[in-house]
Structure 1
C-alpha cells in the first residue's frame, strides 16, 4: 500500500511540475506587466496559494509567477532570489514594512471568504438554474473567484471541462456576501 502511495505522489509531482509546453504553469497572463509587481516562484506548484494570490491580486497588484518547474539550477535560484529581493523592496516602499504580514492575512481572509462566496452561490436560485443549463452538478463547481475593490463583493467565473479536458465557461457572477445576493454578469 505504501509503495502505491509513494508512486502516486511521485507521479503527481512530475505532472504538476511541468505543463504541456514544458513550463510550470499554463495560465496565460493577460494583465499588463507594468501594472503588477511579480513574485517569482519555481518548484512544485502550491496550487492553493496560487488560487488565493490570484484572488487578491487586484487589490495588491501582485502576481505570483512560476518561472521553472521542479528541476532548477543554482543560477536560476540565485536570479529568482535577486529579482524577488528587488520586488520586496519595491513593495515595502509602496505598502510599508509590514506589507508581508498584511498580505498573508489577506490571503488567509480570502480563503475564508471563498467559503462564504460558495455558501451564497449554492443557495441562490439564479445560480443553480445557470448550473443546470451548463450541466454542472452543484457539488462539482469549478470556479475562479477574485476579490473586487469593494469590500464584500466578489466575482466568480464558473466553468467545467469537456471530455477532452478543455475548459468550458458557464457564467460569471458578482456575489455580495454581505447582502447575500448574486448578479449574473454573463
Structure 2
C-alpha cells in the first residue's frame, strides 16, 4: 500500500486554495504574505511555493513589487474557459466512454458517490470533487487529453461554485451527472458527447445571467 506524504507546501497550497475558491479571500484582494504566514504557522518558503502553484492554476496574479493578487472573475474569462471546455470536453468524454474498462467504470462511480456525499453535507464546498468526477470519465481518453482538461477544469472551479449557489442548481447538476455517467458506462459515446455538451452549455448560460446582472 502506497503512502502519500503531503509536504508543508502542499498543505499550505490546499488551505489557500480553499480560501480563494470559497471567497474567504475574494477576487481582487492582495495576498498579505506576512499575515497569512503567521495565521497558518508556516515560513515564507512553503507559502511562496504554494502561491506559485496557485498562480499556475490561474487563481492568483503576481505583480512586480506588489506581490500576489487574487485573480478577478469576469464574463469574458468564463466565456473563454467554458467555450474551450465545449470544444474539448464532450469529445474527450466520448472517447473515454469508448476506451474505459471495468476498473474505469468503478472509479467513475466512486467519484460520483464521493461528489454526491459532499453535496449532501451542509456548507460543503465540493467543486474539487466535481472536477475529479469529470476527470474520472476523461482519463481513459489518454494522459495528454486529461492534462489539458485538468487545467481547464481548475480554471472553471470558481465559476462552477458561483453557478451552484442559487437554489435548485445542485439537484439539476446531480441529475445531469447521473445521466452522463449512465451513458458513459454503457459505452454510448454519442449520447455522452451530447449530454456533456448540454451540461457545460447550461452552466455557461446560467453564468451569463449571474455575471451580467
TM-score of the superposed pair, with normalisation by structure 2? 0.25
> Is the helix fraction higher in 1 or 2?
2
Please identify which structure carries the higher strand content. Answer: 1
